[in-house]
Chains A and B, each alone.
Chain A
Amino acid sequence: MHDITIILADDDEINNYLSVSVIGEFVAAGQIFAFTSPGQAVMEAKRICVDQPSQRFVFFIDINMPEFSGWEMVRQLKSQPGFDFKEKDRIYILSSSINPADRVTAVNEISVTGFVEKPLTISMMEGLLT
């Protein structure tokens, strides 16, 4: 699990704290970043992408954020220049939403890797990082 960068974007700090804690236990080597602003998260991802091109990214993105939505953030990651989205990279939507429409959007329209319901637990982590 070397060279893995995990980026969290959620305006809920408690959730970030929890997620970091859970991921931290599971991921021995790697760097974890948690942002309450999706904009900052995107900038940081771009920065890491430039500094460490070999890095593998795993994103956990909340949907409902004041600055802009998780969908927008995914769109920016995938379409804006500066971030090179690779095949091994993973983008997860981490949300407490139980609206099926959100899952449909996640899978069909945005084509993220998956939709993860909050809270993130250790048992879930198994399948998410591979």
Chain B
Amino acid sequence: MQRIFILFFFLVTGLQATAYDIFVDRKGTLKADYIISHADSLFYYTPRPGLSSGKHVVWVRIIVNNLNDRSQFKYISFDNPVIYKADFYYYEDSVLKHDQYGFGYKQKTKLQVTNIDEFRVNVPGQGKVEVFVRVEPRYISVYSYEIKQLGEMIMWKDRKFYATFVFIFFVAILIFFSVFLMRIFPERKVFLAYILFLISTIFTSTGMTGYYRPFSGLANPVQLTEIFVTTSLMSCLYLLRPYFKLKESFPRADKLLYYTLAYMALSLVPQLFFFSYQTDYFVKHFVFIPSMIIFTGLTFYLVSQKVRYSIPVAVVFFISTITSVTLNIAFLGYIHLGYWVQYYQFSLVIIMVALFLIAFLQSRDKQVVEMAAASLSKLITNKTHMLAKFGSWYMELPSNKLWVSDEMYSIYGVEKKNTPDVNAFVEKVHEEDKDRIIKVWSALADNEQDPRMEYRVRQTDGSIRYISASWVISYNEHGGAKRATGYVQDITERVLAEEEKSAISSELIQRNQVLEEFSYSVSHNLRSPLANILGLCDMIERKMKDGKLDLVPVKMLTDSSRRLDSILRDLNTLLNYDKKLNVLKTPLQLDDVAKETWEIYREKCEFLGGHFTWDFNGTGLVHLVKPYMDNIFQNMLSNSLKYSRPGIAPVIHFSGRLNEGMLQLEFRDNGLGIDLDANRSKLFGLYQRFNPKAAEGNGLGLYLIRLQVEKMKGQIDVQSELNAGTTFFINLPV
């Protein structure tokens, strides 16, 4: 809205200024309602030097001297705005001077319009009408003195009122927009250019026609006004030059523009003091026209270089040029260079409008971009810091005035405050790290200190965050600490992930070791009987060669082979066991399990004179894996029988009870016992055997029990005394 308003304003003022110069005069001339019925038919005309008599195009300016009765003049009108003809007479020593109208020359010629009848000027009442003839064009050689058009009709009252109104109006607008535009164009140059532009439009609209002449009394107020207007416009262009970014991007074009403007300005100076037709002629032909050509070239250049907004400028420029030529032809019937130059001023004004538009758009663009960049940067910083859990802080030293970013508050779980307190943050540090933090913080300015640390923060909800922090100290010229700037980053996720990762990898390493051990134990165990078989075969071969073969090695061969077979079977059990990852828990009575076990080993037990009892009354129905329990019971009984003390009847008792959701099982015997001091660590390992007496064990039973107990999430433990007995304890969750 603002933009549209300003654009409208510029267009209106710009157009008005020149339109007034061009149209209002014409309007007054062509459509005036005044009729001059009679008048003194003397006109005074001073042709430019060197002009001889002949036909001349003359503007007729009628000046009514009786200013006291202006109300009369509204009845004055031309009824026939035709071409008036006048004969010119030359008077060698004229006494008439009309300096105030711009026609005061030493060489004066008296002109008399003969066919005065055609000036039917009707002035009711008293008064004297002077008809003043101004010859146009002034500066080209026209050897005809034919009056083609009646020139300006002077309407003092209306004009003066209008001029005053316009002047006041523009001054008001000037003040209003000065304040307003100061904010839009913070650059002084733009503001100044605007003021010049505005003033020039005011003078154009009020002064160009010569009816409100601020410089009245000087050499030539009309020309002076023109000079002023033109200079203002050129200054405008000069001041706005930076907005085209010509200097940076197109230095040659910029220089050209600069010198052209300087040239124009300088060439106008003589006019201020030595006004003459010659200078006017010079300015219009040698300043404005070349300048116009340069502007045209510059516009082409800007377009060809794709300078921003150059196309609208070019369009405006050419439209205004064409308009000025068209206007010229429309009113004069031919291209009149003098007028064209004036119309060309109109083009310049339009260019000014375009320039202001561009300057405005560019400055606005710049502002928008800067504002957007600033707010976007803040937004991006906030959001990304939030994502990265990255907080930053800044502290003035030694005043300890702290500034803290939003994210830092949330990392620490500290409530946001306008004046953050260091202690509020230190409070949150994990108690184990607090001393460390306080120590570092109190020596913050010490440049020997490593400006990095990791610590934990306990948030209000009790959760622990891991923080990585770093900072940098700035020093003043005396080496004193000036400020500290730092960041904290929440690295909790990373730390936890690393912990998890290291836990997984250590577990993997452990498992791998176990597997390796397992494979070596298996291969070792397999190789022992195999080595025997190989050795025995070798021996049998030798013995057969010697013809001394006996049954001993053959029998041994059979034993070894059987052992190998049994190891392979055990291995199969183990491997199959590992496959059963999901084993079903079923309700079972441990009583039944014990009974079944007893059935299997009954014979062997009775052979040894053993005594096997069990007590599972307190356990009732428990949910456990039946095959595992079978195996555990059978192995326990089998071991107790296997490692019984020679000559002492085995007494074996299995029992169980429930305690706080745990099934506590006990397997007690009075056998050989195990030297736990030496063997505890190996007890439940694969292929570990301890009893030198009973070498038949394959070192698999307790290993398997341990695996099964662990699979049921239980624990196994053992108490034993050599030559007294062993008790295994198994705790299982049920």
Contacts and interface: CB of A to CB of B under 8 A. Distances in A.
Interface of A: 11-12, 14-15, 17-19, 21-22, 25, 36-37, 39, 64-68, 95-99, 101, 117-122
Interface of B: 520, 523-524, 527-528, 530-532, 534-536, 538-539, 542, 552-553, 556, 559-560, 678, 687, 689-692, 695, 697
Contacts of A19: 535
Contacts of B531: 15, 96, 117-119
B532 A97 contact: no
Contacts of A97: 520, 524, 527
A66 B675 CA distance: 11
Nearest to A25: B542
Nearest to B552: A17
Given A64-B524, A98-B527, A119-B534, A18 B692 contact: no
A11 B556 contact: no
By CB atoms of chain B within 10 A, which of A19, A36, A37, A66 has the most? A66
A17 B553 CA distance: 9
A18 B530 contact: no
A11 B527 contact: no
Q: Is the interface of A mostly helix, strand, loop or mixed?
A: loop
A66 B692 contact: yes
Nearest to B530: A96
Contacts of A68: 678
Given A14-B559, A17-B552, A97-B524, A119 B538 contact: yes
B214 to A, nearest CB: 112
Contacts of B687: 64
A21 B528 contact: no
A19 B538 CA distance: 11
Contact of A18 (B523, B527, B535, B695): B535
B565 to A, nearest CB: 15
B338 to A, nearest CB: 113
Nearest to A66: B689
Contacts of B532: 12, 14-15, 18, 118-119
A118 B692 contact: no
Q: Is the interface of B mostly helix, strand, loop or mixed?
A: helix
B692 A37 contact: yes
A36 to B, nearest CB: 7
Contacts of A67: 690, 692
Contacts of B528: 12, 15, 96, 118
Contact of A99 (B520, B539, B552, B689): B520
B695 A14 contact: no
Nearest to B531: A118
Given A12-B532, A118-B535, A119-B538, A66 B691 contact: yes
Nearest to B536: A18
A11 B692 contact: yes
19 contacts: A11-B689, A14-B559, A14-B560, A15-B532, A17-B552, A18-B532, A18-B536, A21-B539, A22-B535, A36-B692, A64-B524, A66-B692, A66-B697, A96-B527, A96-B530, A98-B523, A118-B528, A119-B534, A119-B538
Closest 7 CB pairs of A and B: A119-B535, A118-B531, A96-B527, A18-B535, A99-B520, A67-B692, A66-B689
A127 to B, nearest CB: 18
Given A66-B690, A66-B691, A98 B524 contact: yes
Contacts of A117: 531
A95 B525 CA distance: 10
Contacts of B697: 66
Nearest to A15: B532
A120 B692 contact: no
B527 A121 contact: no
Given A17-B556, A66-B697, 11 more contacts: A15-B528, A17-B553, A18-B535, A18-B556, A19-B535, A64-B687, A96-B524, A97-B524, A98-B520, A118-B527, A121-B538
By CB atoms of chain B within 10 A, which of A21, A67, A119 has the most? A119
A63 to B, nearest CB: 8
Contacts of B695: 11, 36, 66
A99 B694 CA distance: 26
A84 B530 CA distance: 35
A20 to B, nearest CB: 11
A96 B530 CA distance: 9
A10 to B, nearest CB: 9
B692 A65 contact: yes
A64 B521 CA distance: 10
Contacts of B560: 14
Contacts of B524: 64, 95-99
Contacts of B691: 66
B19 to A, nearest CB: 107
A35 to B, nearest CB: 10
Contacts of B542: 25, 122
B236 to A, nearest CB: 94
A14 B538 CA distance: 13
A12 B527 CA distance: 12
Nearest to A98: B523
A36 B697 CA distance: 14
B116 to A, nearest CB: 139
B696 to A, nearest CB: 11
By CB atoms of chain A within 10 A, which of B520, B530, B678, B692 has the most? B692
By CB atoms of chain B within 10 A, which of A22, A67, A101 has the most? A67
Nearest to A37: B692
Contacts of A66: 689-692, 695, 697
